[in-house]
Structure formats: C-alpha cells, structure tokens
Chains A and B, each alone.
Chain A
C-alpha cells in the first residue's frame, strides 16, 4: 500500500501544479479531476475507504460537474486563452511562489519533528464513521444541513437574472 500511496501523491502534486498553471479553463478542470482522483486513491491507501468513495462522488463528480456547467454557461471562446496569456506573464508567479515556498519550508520543518510516527495500518470501516457521525457529531450534522440550505438559497438568489438592472 505504501507504493500506492506515494505514486498517488506524486500524481496529485503534478496534476495540481498543472491545473493551476493552465491557460485553458477546460484543461485546468481536467487536471484538477485527475488530482482529486489521486487524492481518493491516497485515502484508500490510508485505510479510509468511505471518504475515498465520497471524494470521487462528491468532489470529482458533483462539484466538478458544477464547474463544467458554469464554464459552459459563460461560453468563454478561444480568445480567452490568448487573454489569459496577457494576464499571466511569468513574473507574476515569482512573488506568490517564493512566499508560499517559504511557508511550505517552515511547515515541512515543523512536521519533521514527527519523523518517528507512522499511520496505523488499519482500515476505519464506514460503519464506525457513521456511528461517530450520528452520535458524537449529530449537532455538527445539523449545522452542516443548515449551511447547505443557506448556500442553496444564497446561490439561487445570486444566480437569478435581475429584471430591472443592466446586463
């Protein structure tokens, strides 16, 4: 399983790096889907099959479909790729990359103090997750449902075409 984990981690990192640097939105989305599927494989290797399935169904499935639909609604033509090139000259990337790399280096230095610890080689069954979710965390589930309801109403309100405003 450890080889699976490292191979999936490499795929996830490369695919994410490609996804955030593409000029074409569709290419970026497809690389992002590859990255999410690789993270799902990592979850499986870590002994978390339930969230691996949810990652594929909800992240790579539902959320990415939402992105694809909005991208089709916006109807961004081939001119946008050229526009992206003008928006993103290489020097724009230098500052954020250096700052993020410094933060990452600090984080990795902090993590190196846990060098001896290893992830327990046991599978946490979906049953255990469900029991924890609906006993200990029942209040959290209620709050999450309220959050989703408010997101639904908010998205409906924001996405409406206003009659008396321009555009």
Chain B
C-alpha cells in the first residue's frame, strides 16, 4: 500500500546530502575523500531529479538520473586516473602538495 510522501521532505533529504558532500569537498585534504564527496553531491542531485519526477508520475526524472549516472561514471574514471598520476608525481594524496602555481 503506497502512501504519498511529501515533496518537500524528499527534496530536503537531497539538500541535506548535497550540503554534506559540499562540506566534505571544502574541508578534506585527502583527494580520495574529495572525490567521494563529489560522488555524494552528484548522487544528491540525482535524488532531487527522481523525487521531482515522481511528483508528476513521469519518467523524465529517472531519465535525467541515468544521465547523471553516466556523468558520474566518467567523472570518477578521469578523477581516479588523475589521482593515480598525482600519487606517482608527489608520493602523497594531499591536495595541498600541488602548489606549483602558487604566486
């Protein structure tokens, strides 16, 4: 038996998850955790799309989630390849190690 879920609570959960991801991106120095936080943010955006799609009972929200999924997969593949190169070059995963452009 399905009971209607309030639209605002679904979108609020997406907003909270997005904020948590934002905190992670801003405050971590380990590149691995920065990439994980980016995943959380993309996933929260996808959740917002699915909630909005479910509000109108249309498939469009789920289609947009599929595109976000493809983007996230591409982003994480390139991001992790960059992380491996970073580790080879600097011997650490500290984002502050890449400071050659600092004035």
B47 pairs with A42, CB closer than 8 A: yes
A51 and B8: CB pair below 8 A? Answer: no
Q: How many interface residues does B have (CB within 8 Å)? A: 75
Query: With A12-B17, A119-B4, A158-B78 in contact, is A96–B30 under 8 Å at CB?
Result: no
Q: With A20-B36, A51-B66, A155-B81 as given contacts, are A119 and B15 in contact (CB-CB < 8 Å)?
A: no
Contact with B along A72-106 (1 / 0, CB 8 A): 01101000000010011000110111011101100
In the bound complex, residues from chain B placing their C-beta under 8 Å from that of A132 are 59-60, 63
Q: Quick check: A48 and B20 within 8 Å, CB to CB?
A: no
B21 touches A70 (CB 8 A): no
Given contacts A20-B36, A51-B62, A147-B71, contact A119 B17 (CB under 8 A): no
CB–CB A29/B36 < 8 A: yes
Please name all residues of chain A whose beta carbon is closer than 8 Å to the beta carbon of B6 when the two chains form the complex.
115, 117-119
Q: Say yes or no: A88-B55 contact (C-beta < 8 A), given A13-B20, A70-B80, A151-B77.
A: no
- Cβ–Cβ contact A66 & B80, under 8 A: yes
Query: How far is A108 from B30 in the complex, measured between Cα atoms in Å?
Result: 30
Number of residues on chain A facing chain B (CB within 8 A): 88
Min CB distance A154 to B, Å, is 5
- Residues of A bordering B, CB below 8 Å: 1-2, 5-6, 9, 12-13, 16-17, 19-20, 25, 28-29, 32, 35-36, 39, 42-43, 45-48, 50-51, 54-55, 58-59, 62-63, 66-67, 70-71, 73-74, 76, 84, 87-88, 92-93, 95-97, 99-101, 103-104, 107-108, 111-112, 114-115, 117-124, 128-129, 131-133, 136-137, 140, 144, 147-148, 150-152, 154-159, 161, 167
